[in-house]
């Protein structure tokens, strides 16, 4: 029986947990998952409790867009990618606009759209061994899920350009140094630290925490600016996905590779169904 790829768990202490729950696919974003994420975040926005915890089941946070779902659609590729991006962007915007603190916990790979989901939290905790990689330009696409809006604001324009254009990989410890995450913690402490942090926030002075979060995002144009930027990200990635170069790069990415040691390219961190 199919299970839902995204779930909400409401805890008695006021923490509302949003769980990416498709670990067998690396929590990859196809249209079904993106729409489920959109619907679940809308549900959370209607009743966010005292704090929201965003985390993922399994060893991987989110490997980004599901390239197996993108590839082979020909002229329909752009429309499909646009639909996935639009649904995922609605979720990102809902998370960004929540009035209560949002804690995200990142384990394993956060790639492509997974970067935007990870960084939209107010407090971002990462396992030291977590791996952050944009990976879009390697397959002929541009960032989505707010990554190109969030990264310059968190790491500065130079670092953002480096990460987006070169697709370099950052560990959780690297991401802390870059200012992308609040704290890097030992791998075996991530879940407990994230859960405890969310519980402490939920038990805190709710009105003061909401007001403080509002001050941190006081620019009245911030949310509207993100909304417009998300729409432009969706337009660009969909347009590129229809092009020959992106389709050829996605097909090459998904093609079987010669094992390392036999003259091939190991690329051990790459997931065949994702942009990681």
Q: How far apart are the first and last CA of the chain?
A: 28
User: Is 271 part of any domain?
Assistant: no
Give residue for tokens 């913690």: 185
Bridge partners of 184, per DSSP, are 126
User: Is 273 part of any domain?
Assistant: no
d(CA 204, CA 184): 23
**What is the rounded radius of gyration, in angstroms, for the C-alpha atoms of the chain?**
18
Question: What pLDDT, in 10s, does the model give residues 218-264?
Answer: 765 566 789 999 999 999 999 999 898 999 999 898 887 654 443 33
- Please check the confidence at residue 6 and state whether its pLDDT lies above 90: yes
Helices 77-97 and 31-46: crossing angle in degrees, nearest 10, is 20
Question: What pTM was estimated for this model as a whole?
Answer: 0.89
Q: What is the CATH number of the domain that holds 164?
A: 3.90.226.10
What total of structural domains would you count in the chain? 1
User: Is 116 part of any domain?
Assistant: yes
pLDDT at 3: 85
User: Is 27 part of any domain?
Assistant: yes
| Average pLDDT of span 149-167 | 96
Question: What pLDDT, in 10s, does the model give residues 193-221?
Answer: 999 999 999 999 999 999 999 998 876 55
User: Is 246 part of any domain?
Assistant: yes
User: Could you tell me the residue range of the domain that residue 29 belongs to?
Assistant: 6-254
| Long-range Cβ pairs for the range 264-269 (8 Å, 24+) | 269/109, 269/131, 269/133, 269/169
Question: What pLDDT, in 10s, does the model give residues 47-84?
Answer: 999 999 999 999 999 999 999 999 878 889 999 999 99
Contacts (Cβ under 8 Å, ≥6 apart) of 195: 15, 53
User: Is 132 part of any domain?
Assistant: yes
User: Is 67 part of any domain?
Assistant: yes
| Average pLDDT of span 106-127 | 97
- Please check the confidence at residue 271 and state whether its pLDDT lies above 50: no
| Structure tokens given for 172 | 């959780």
Give the CA-trace dihedral at 80, 83, 84, 88, to 10 degrees.
170
* Residues taking part in catalysis: 89, 144
pLDDT at 71: 82
Contacts (Cβ under 8 Å, ≥6 apart) of 232: none
Contacts (Cβ under 8 Å, ≥6 apart) of 38: 87, 88, 90, 91, 94
User: Is 270 part of any domain?
Assistant: no
d(CA 178, CA 184): 11
């Amino acid at each position: 029986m199919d299970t839902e790829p995204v779930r909400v768990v409401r805890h008695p202490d006021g923490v509302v947990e949003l769980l990416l729950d498709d670990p067998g696919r690396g929590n990859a974003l196809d249209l079904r998952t993106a729409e489920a994420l959109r619907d679940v975040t809308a549900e959370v926005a209607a009743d966010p409790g005292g704090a929201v915890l965003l985390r993922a089941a399994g060893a991987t946070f989110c490997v980004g867009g599901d390239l197996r779902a993108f590839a082979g659609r020909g002229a329909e590729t752009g429309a499909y990618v646009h639909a996935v991006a639009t649904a995922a962007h609605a979720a990102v915007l809902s998370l960004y606009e929540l009035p209560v603190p949002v804690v995200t916990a990142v384990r394993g790979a956060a790639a492509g759209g997974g970067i935007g989901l990870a960084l939209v939290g107010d407090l971002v905790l990462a396992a030291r061994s977590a791996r952050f990689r944009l990976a879009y330009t390697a397959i002929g696409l541009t960032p989505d899920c707010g990554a190109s809006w969030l990264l310059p604001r968190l790491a500065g324009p130079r670092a953002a350009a480096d990460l987006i254009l070169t697709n370099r990989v950052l560990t959780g410890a690297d991401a802390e140094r870059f200012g992308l995450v609040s704290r890097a913690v030992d791998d075996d402490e991530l879940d407990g630290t994230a859960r405890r942090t969310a519980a402490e926030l939920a038990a805190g002075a709710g009105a003061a925490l909401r007001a403080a979060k509002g001050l941190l995002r006081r620019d009245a144009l911030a949310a509207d600016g993100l909304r417009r930027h998300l729409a432009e990200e969706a337009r660009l990635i969909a347009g590129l996905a229809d092009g020959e170069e992106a389709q050829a790069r996605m097909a090459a990415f998904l093609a079987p590779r010669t094992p390392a040691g036999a003259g091939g390219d190991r690329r051990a961190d790459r997931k065949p169904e994702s942009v990681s």
